[in-house]
Structure 1
Amino acid sequence: MTGDGLITVQSRFGVTETIDRLAEAVKRAGLVVFARIDHAAGARDVGASLRPTELLIFGNPRGGTPLMQDSQLAGIDLPVKALAWEDDQGKVWLSYNDPHWIAERHGLGDASGAAVAAMAAGMEKVIAAAAGLAQ
């Protein structure tokens, strides 16, 4: 993790395939896909260019609600999201907010500790599956 709370891993796949794989892994884990946003398509719609960049927003109210009960402002960072993006050298990356960073940002108490740990473990698992990393 970097100081800004982001965790970034390299994907073995293109941006669209990475997000497709993430959506599949999320659904297999019993989570809900709330939205998928193709930022590059949005850029094209306004006559601008942007390297492939897609965002997937997903989660589970059963996991996120307790965090928002602890600090309602945590809802600005929930549900969780992951961004697949291609850099200027053609490498594809998958980035997401570390759940521990989210907890620290919002001053979540000890009562939220188990939920945060479960969220972190779940994110690591679905991100690894999406990026084609060995588990």
Structure 2
Amino acid sequence: MNGLKSARSSMNVPATVEALRRCIDEQGATVFAVIDHGAAAAQGDLRLPATQLVIFGRPLTGTALLQDCPQLAIDLPLRILIRDDGAQGAVVTWQDPEFVARRFGLTAEESRPLHAAGEVVSAVLEQPVSAY
């Protein structure tokens, strides 16, 4: 899918979310929210495989980006989607920072903070991330 990157976690959705939260915290960023789409669906008597969205960032870094490019607020804070696709483990998806950078005309240096989601995923999966 254009603009997104995905990788497979060997852990299930809840374990992957917890590992991501710990890593984000260890790296000094803030987890602003975890949205549990599966639980929300169940409240409406609907079925959805385990699907959670981790929303995180560094306010100082994000604010600096937004001061230069206010439209980036549509993509910040960063988000990582973790979902059960029926196979072993979970699929982890985040925005491709190069795609976002091109959309907003950011230089490599300006877009550096957008790489944080992929870096967190790579650290949690203990492997370089590649397209899934």
Band of TM-score, shorter chain: 0.7 to 0.9
2:118 is matched with 124
SS at match of 1:88: coil
Tell me whether 94-103 or 14-23 shows the greater mean CA deviation.
Answer: 94-103
Residue 17 (structure 2) aligned to one of 19, 22, 44: 19
Q: TM-score, normalised by structure 2?
A: 0.87
Confirm or deny that 1:82 pairs with 2:61. Answer: no
Instruction: Please tell me the root mean square deviation across aligned C-alpha atoms, in Å.
Output: 1.7
SS at match of 2:38: helix
Confirm or deny that 1:134 pairs with 2:122. Answer: no
TM-superposed CA distance for 1:129, in Å, is: 2.7
Confirm or deny that 1:92 pairs with 2:90. Answer: yes
Q: Which runs of 4+ in 1 moved over 3 A?
A: 88-91
The gaps in structure 2 that reach 5 residues or longer are none
Task: Write the distance in 2 (CA, Å) between the matches of 1:107 and 1:74.
Answer: 11
Map 1:50-69 to 2 at 5 A.
Answer: 50-69=48-67
TM-superposed CA distance for 1:105, in Å, is: 1.8
Q: TM-score, normalised by structure 1?
A: 0.85
The gaps in structure 1 that reach 5 residues or longer are none
The one-letter code of the counterpart of 2:32 is F
The one-letter code of the counterpart of 1:133 is E
TM-superposed CA distance for 1:118, in Å, is: 4.1
Alpha carbons 1:100, 1:117 under 8 Å: kept: no
- The CA deviation string for residues 5-55 of structure 1, in whole angstroms up to 9 with x for no partner, is 101000010001101000000000000000001100000000000001000
2:38 is matched with 40
User: What count of residue pairs does the alignment treat as equivalent?
Assistant: 128
